Amino acid sequence: MKKSFRIRSSDSHSDNRKSKGSPADEKRSRRLKWLGLSAIVLMLVVAGTAAQAQQTGRIPQIGYLLTTSVPTIVGPQIEIFRQALRDLGYIEGKNILIEYRYIEGQQDRVPSLIAELVQLKVEVLIVGTLTSIRAAKQATTTIPIVMVTTGDPVATGIVDSLARPGGNITGLTKLTRELNGKRLELLKEAVPGISRVGVLWDPRGPGPAIAFKEYEAAAISLKIKLQSLEVRDANPDFEGVFKAAVKGRASALIEISSSVFNRHARRIADFAIKNRLPSMCEASQFVEAGCLMSYSSSDAEIFRRLAIYVDKILKGTKPADLPVEQPMKFEFVVNLKTAKQIGVTIPPNVLVRAQRVIK
């Protein structure tokens, strides 16, 4: 009969020795633990630094104060601007943010709207009306301000000169000295029989006042009489003004650009059509609303250039080093549907000069 044996690998003394470990083993163990703890601490420090960088790594913000939220008025212009930003590599929500605010004809709200955008610490502030430009200028001397204005920024005291604007304001003006005279001239060429033109304008600001004087100077050389149709209310009742135009036997109508009028483009156009008045407006959206014609700087070019100004400022260029640009491209727009409604035939030599014809 075979005996079975069980071989023990070690005695109890050797087991105790193994469990406790030698001094060299304990030293190695402590070193490994220290290295592991150091690695964990280092990882936490790196993670914390990355998180902090992510929190402080601010996406640039643009503050944009618009006259109205009506999409048919500002929509095309804003889309041109946004597309131009995309062409420059800016994607909204990823590497740029745009904060919009709207005046909606309430000029008394302009300072508070500007203050909201300033408190957001936007990198660039975009404004358009003379009221908003002045409010922005008073609200901040550090945030770069880019204007898109129909007025003369030198004559109104916004900048020192077009070439050297100074301060924190620059941008683009749609104004040229010959533009208003050219509008009256085109109206006379399109409708040779006109002799008295009603001028719809808001006399509360210096910009329209300057424009009205320019129309007066052009009217003398064209042997046309002007009838001043003044609108002084932010929420105007046009009935009285329109009655005055009819009573004064106006044979045509001119609109001087105003944020108030922008919201009533359709109403102005409808009045002109109803009274068979050829109308010349200062922006193409009025022709799209039903006015007969417009002559103005190219909105597409203006708002593409606006994006370039924003890009330069975000990359470190100071507003004082960016000259205020005047328009280089102009657009003559004619609405033939309106011409038919009011019984006017646009001469071929005038129509051929139109960059856009609405039929």
Give residue-wise pLDDT tens across range 79-96. Answer: 999 999 999 999 999 999
Residue 32, pLDDT score: 58
Residues 152, 192, single domain; the answer is: no
For β-strands 196-201 and 169-173, DSSP reports them as unpaired
- The length of the chain in residues reads 359
Domain of residue 307 covers 61-175+299-321
Rounded Cα distance, 23 and 294, in Å:
96
Could you tell me if 351 and 234 lie in one domain?
A: yes
* Both structure tokens of 236: 């105007």
Residue 203 Cα distances to 117, 233, 234, angstroms:
29, 10, 12
Coil, strand, or helix at residue 125?
Answer: strand
Of all helices (H) and strands (E), which one includes residue 180?
Answer: helix 179-190
Taking residues 226-248, what's their average pLDDT?
Answer: 88
Instruction: Give the E-state strand segments of 212-288 in sequence order.
Output: 225-230, 252-255, 279-281
How far apart are alpha carbons 252 and 281 in whole angstroms? 11
pLDDT at residue number 134: 94
- 354 lies in the same domain as 232: yes
**Res 47: pLDDT:** 42
Q: Does the residue 282 lie in any domain? A: yes
Q: Is residue 287 part of a domain?
A: yes
> Of 259, 189, 181, whose CA–CA distance to 218 is shortest?
181
pLDDT > 70 fraction of the chain, expressed in percent and rounded: 83
Q: Average model confidence (pLDDT) for the chain?
A: 85
Confidence of residue 263 (pLDDT cuts 50, 70, 90): confident
Q: Considering the domain boundaries, does residue 76 fall inside one?
A: yes
Residue (of 319, 328, 325, 334) closest to 298 by Cα position: 328
Looking at the structure, tell me whether residues 282 and 146 fall in a common domain: no
Judge if 353 and 247 occupy the same domain.
yes
CB atoms within 10 A of CB 59: 11
Q: Give residue 6's pLDDT.
A: 41
Of the candidates 219, 213, 218, 244, which has an alpha carbon nearest to the alpha carbon of residue 231? 244
CB 234 within 8 A of CB 288: no
* C-alpha to C-alpha distance for 220 and 232, rounded to whole angstroms: 26
Phi, psi (deg, nearest 5) at residue 46:
-65, -45
Q: Which pLDDT value is given to residue 335?
A: 98
* Helix/strand/coil for 93: coil
200 and 335 both lie in a single domain: yes
In the chain, % of residues over pLDDT 90: 62
Are 189 and 156 found together in one domain? no
Tell me, what's the pLDDT at 151?
Answer: 78
Residue 122 lies in a domain: yes
167 falls within a domain: yes
Q: Is residue 10 situated within a structural domain?
A: no
| Residue 28: other Cβ atoms inside 10 A | 12
Report the amino acid identity of residue 181: G
Same domain, 75 and 149: yes
Cβ atoms 345, 355 nearer than 8 A: no
Q: Are 195 and 338 members of one domain?
A: yes
Number of domains in the chain: 2
223 part of a folded domain: yes
208 and 155: one domain? Answer: no
Q: What is the CATH number of the domain that holds 139?
A: 3.40.50.2300
Share in percent of the chain as helix, strand, coil (round to 5): 50, 15, 35
* CA–CA dist 38, 215 (Å, integer): 80
Q: How confident is the model at residue 70 (pLDDT cuts 50, 70, 90)?
A: confident
Does residue 260 surpass a pLDDT of 50?
Answer: yes
Distance from C-alpha of 145 to C-alpha of 165, rounded to nearest angstrom: 11
Residues 6+ apart with CB under 8 A from 294: 280, 281, 282, 283, 284, 286, 287, 331, 332, 333
Which residue in this structure is represented by tokens 């804003």? 78
Residues 252 and 125 in one domain: no
In a domain, 9, yes or no: no
DSSP 3-state of 294: strand
Contact 274, 246 (CB under 8 A): no
Asked if 234 and 198 sit in the same domain, the reply is yes
The pLDDT tens digits of the residues spanning 137-196 come to 999 999 999 999 887 899 888 999 999 999 999 999 987 667 899 999 999 999 999 999
